[in-house]
Every structure is written in C-alpha cells, then in structure tokens.
A and B are shown apart, each in its own frame.
Chain A
Amino acid sequence: MLDRALGLHPSVALRPEPFGALAYHYDNRRLVFLKHPSMVDLVRTLDDHPDLRSALEAHGIAPELWDTYDRATTSLIESEVVIAR
C-alpha cells in the first residue's frame, strides 16, 4: 500500500468534527468516521503526493506508525473513501 498513488474519492465530502471528520460518500451514501485529526489531514493531501509513503513522510509521521496508517488507509479504500489514482 505504501507505494501506491492514492486520492480522496471525488464523490466524498469531509466534514470536520472535534474527533476528526465525517466522510460522506454521495454515491454509495455511506457515512464513515475518521477518528483522528492526523488521519483527516493525511487523507486531504493524498492527491498531492506520488504515494502513501511520501504523504506520511510529508506529514512527519514516525515510520514505526506507518503500519497503523497503512491499515487505516486500507479500510478507507474498502469503504471507497480513498481510491487508487
């Protein structure tokens, strides 16, 4: 996953909330909770980076946490909030 070019699905809107954000998918009408502000920042900028790894680096996220972010991103791909570019 770390080497893949990712982006926010064009039909997804993010609404900031105290815990992170709500992601709403206008096509499948699913509501997904992003439970960490850092994850929200990451998701918002995925499109600006060639792959997930460089997005994580750009956000200054420590490499020992990358696995956790990798898993969280995988789950967002499953719910179609994030897609491969």
Chain B
Amino acid sequence: MTRLVDQMKSGLDAPICITWELTYACNLACVHCLSSSGRRDPRELSTAEAFGVIDELRAMQVFYVNIGGGEPMIRRDFFDIIDYATRSGVGVKFSTNGAFIDAERAERLAQMDYLDIQLSIDGADAVTNDRVRGEGSFATARRAMDHLAAADFGEFKISVVVTRENVGQLDDFKAIADSYGAQLRLTRLRPSGRGVDAWHDLHPTLDQQRDLHRWLLAHGERVLTGDSFFHLNALGESLPGLNMCGAGRVVCLIDPVGDVYACPFVIHDEFLAGNVRDDGGFTDVWRTSDLFSELREPQSAGACASCGAWDACQGGCMAAKFFTGLPLDGPDPECVGGEGEHALDAVTTVPRPSGDHSSPRPVPVVLGTSGLGRR
C-alpha cells in the first residue's frame, strides 16, 4: 500500500478526482462558501469551451467529474453540459442546493446514466441549517430530495460540511439519508472562500473531532468523506481512504473562468497552475505546470518531523494551513495533538482568498451576531 501512495504522491497522468465549478452565480450566500460565490463572472467559460474541457477529460480518461459552483443548475446550458459529459463517458456528480430541482427536472435527471447528485444541507433541522446556508434553504433542499425520490432517481447523496453546530447531529443526518435510501457524505469545513471568516466560529472543537473520528470509524465506508478527515488519523485507528493530501497530485479544481487550482479549497494566486484557455489546455496544465510539479515533489514534515503521528496524519490539509496563516510544513490548525492551536496563537497575518464573488446584497446570515461568539 505504501508503494501505491508514494506513486500517487508523485502524481498521475490524469487526475482521479476533478472538481469543476461551472459558475460563481448562486442563489444562496452560505457563510462558509469555499468559492465566495454569489455573482456570475462575465468571463465564465462558454458552452463550447465547456465541451472542449470535457473532450480533454475524455481523452485523458478522467472517469468522472465533480461539478459544483456556485449553484451549477443556474447555468442555462447546465443540462447540455452534463449530457455532453455523460455521453462522452465522463460521469458526472454534481453538487446543488436543490433550488432548481422541481418535479420535471427530477424526472429528467432520473433518466440519465452516469449521473450522481449531491444535495447540500449543513444542519439536520431548518434552524441549524439555515443559520449557515440562509433562510428557507433547508426546506428547499428537502423539497428537492422529495422530488428525486418521487422520480425514482435512486441513490442520491446528501452532503454535509461538519461544523461545531451540527457535529452533534450525525445520527440525525444518517436517519434523513436512510429515509430516502440516500448515501450520507460528510466533509471537512475549510477556512476557504467566505469560510476564511466563518471558520474560527464554526470548526469543530478538539472534543468534537474525537467524537467525529469515533463516529466515522463506526460507520465505515458506508458514509462517504471524500477522504477529507485524514488529519483525524493521528487519533489512532485510520479512517478508510487514501491518507494523503491529493492537491495537484490526484486532485485539482477548474473554476468557472477556466483557472486551474491545486484543489477546490485553495482559490488563491499562490495555488493557480494555469488556465484551460492556455495553449495546451487543461492537459498541459495538469502535466507540466510548475506548481503541480512542485507539489509532486516529496514534501517536508517541517515542524511535525519529530511528532510520532506524522505517518498517520501527514501534517493534514494544505488549504486549512494556508488560509489560517500557518506554514505549510507544520501542523494542521485542527491538529488533534493540539499543536495547531498553539501555532494559531502566533499568527499575525492571514492570506485572503483571491476572488470575492459575493453578491452585493447583505449576506442573510452572519454568524457572531446572534449571541454565538467565538468559543
């Protein structure tokens, strides 16, 4: 197994897991949005350019693409793009808040092959969810789930970002997923996009991380995680999945204007590898960009070198470190050994995400103004 992981670290000829944000436009304004979405960027890839990206993915044998946004269904050519991808043998898994899934669209989605849908909720009830995702967003997501169930879509996914406020609801999320015959997916909150501000109030406490680790171990591979909690492996038993940061090695992000970043959580100039509109397209960016070549070099354990847990956690998440102002060769801000908290105390400046596409209207939910101060 070690050998395989080493091979992955030196990079693959094509990504395994590629995220493609189709638009920065969004009807919601979630406080933790990793791409600071809201308004459409006028430089967005055209339909023809999107088809060109899919042609490249097919040629590279990228088996599936994770489509997101913004809210991807806002694009008028959304169905054209996912039809083109699935007919090209590039499977699609798309993330949505569900606002545009009515009975008719649910039927259409149910008839497609090679298509997965991930509906996002961040609370198992409206109060918890809507504080983060906005008024009415829980009801919207549940309505979309009802439509998919009524259309016999089959096993869709319910995707939850684990926060300080919802980590006590894991059994409730599982019950909601089970009630639809859906699969639960839990992912880690990153201080990316608007999350750079929300993270400090929302990320799980150390005790909560221990509970989460136990819960994930108890539920095994039946609950998906996108391998995003590998920093918890330092607590002992390893979670299923690849125990490594895949940024630029097996993972990358294509943003709505075609910029290629090392992972979905590092939309910042420092992690920008190129653009799909460049000569050579996405293929050349993946195979030859300086940034990705650098990320495929062996990484130093730095300040973690003397820690006995290094093999288990690999220093955690690059994006989490970067956007909390920590050195990349040191502990994760949520290091379960408590090293991250010490390191955070010494941070004076924190990088800001490169683009803010937030809508000019006031963000409907702001944490910290409702009596929930920093804890």
Residues of A within 8 A of B (CB): 13, 15-19, 22, 24, 26, 29, 31, 33, 35
- CB < 8 Å: which of A13, A17, A24, A29 contacts B12? A17
Say whether B63 contacts A24, CB under 8 Å: yes
* 8 Å CB interface, B40-99 against A: 61, 63-64, 89, 91
Interface SS of B by simple majority: loop
Residues of B within 8 A of A17 (CB): 7, 12-13
A33–chain B nearest beta-carbon distance, Å: 6
Instruction: Check if B361 is an interface residue, CB within 8 A of chain A.
Output: no
* 8 Å CB interface, B155-173 against A: none
Complex-state Cα separation, A29 to B114, whole angstroms? 8
Residues of A within 8 A of B63 (CB): 13, 15, 22, 24, 26, 31
Complex-state Cα separation, A33 to B16, whole angstroms? 11
Instruction: Check if B212 is an interface residue, CB within 8 A of chain A.
Output: no
Complex-state Cα separation, A26 to B13, whole angstroms? 20
Which residue of A is nearest B7, CB measured? Answer: A19
Query: Top 4 A-B pairs ranked by shortest CB distance?
Result: A24-B63, A19-B7, A15-B61, A35-B4
Known: A15-B14, A19-B3, A26-B89. 16 other contacts (CB 8 A): A13-B61, A13-B89, A15-B63, A18-B12, A19-B4, A19-B7, A22-B12, A22-B16, A22-B63, A24-B63, A24-B64, A26-B63, A29-B116, A33-B4, A35-B3, A35-B4
Complex-state Cα separation, A84 to B3, whole angstroms? 30
* 8 Å CB interface, B109-130 against A: 114, 116
Known: A13-B61, A19-B4, A33-B4. A26 touches B14 (CB 8 A): no
Interface SS of A by simple majority: strand
Which residue of B is nearest A16, CB measured? Answer: B13
Residues of B within 8 A of A16 (CB): 13
6 A-B pairs (CB sep. < 8 Å): A15-B13, A15-B61, A24-B63, A24-B64, A26-B63, A31-B16
Complex-state Cα separation, A33 to B1, whole angstroms? 10
Residues of B within 8 A of A19 (CB): 3-4, 7
- CB < 8 Å: which of B4, B12, B16, B114 contacts A26? B114
Residues of B within 8 A of A22 (CB): 12, 16, 63
B92–chain A nearest beta-carbon distance, Å: 11
Complex-state Cα separation, A13 to B90, whole angstroms? 11
B201–chain A nearest beta-carbon distance, Å: 36
Which residue of A is nearest B86, CB measured? Answer: A26
Complex-state Cα separation, A16 to B191, whole angstroms? 35
Which residue of B is nearest A19, CB measured? Answer: B7
Known: A13-B61, A13-B63, A17-B12. A29 touches B91 (CB 8 A): yes
- CB < 8 Å: which of A15, A26, A33, A35 contacts B91? A26
Residues of B within 8 A of A29 (CB): 64, 91, 116
Complex-state Cα separation, A15 to B57, whole angstroms? 12
Interface string of B121-141 (1 = CB under 8 A from A): 000000000000000000000
Which residue of A is nearest B17, CB measured? Answer: A31
Residues of B within 8 A of A35 (CB): 3-4
Say whether A18 contacts B7, CB under 8 Å: yes
Complex-state Cα separation, A14 to B7, whole angstroms? 17
A15–chain B nearest beta-carbon distance, Å: 4
* 8 Å CB interface, B1-33 against A: 3-4, 7, 10, 12-14, 16
B1–chain A nearest beta-carbon distance, Å: 9
Which residue of B is nearest A15, CB measured? Answer: B61
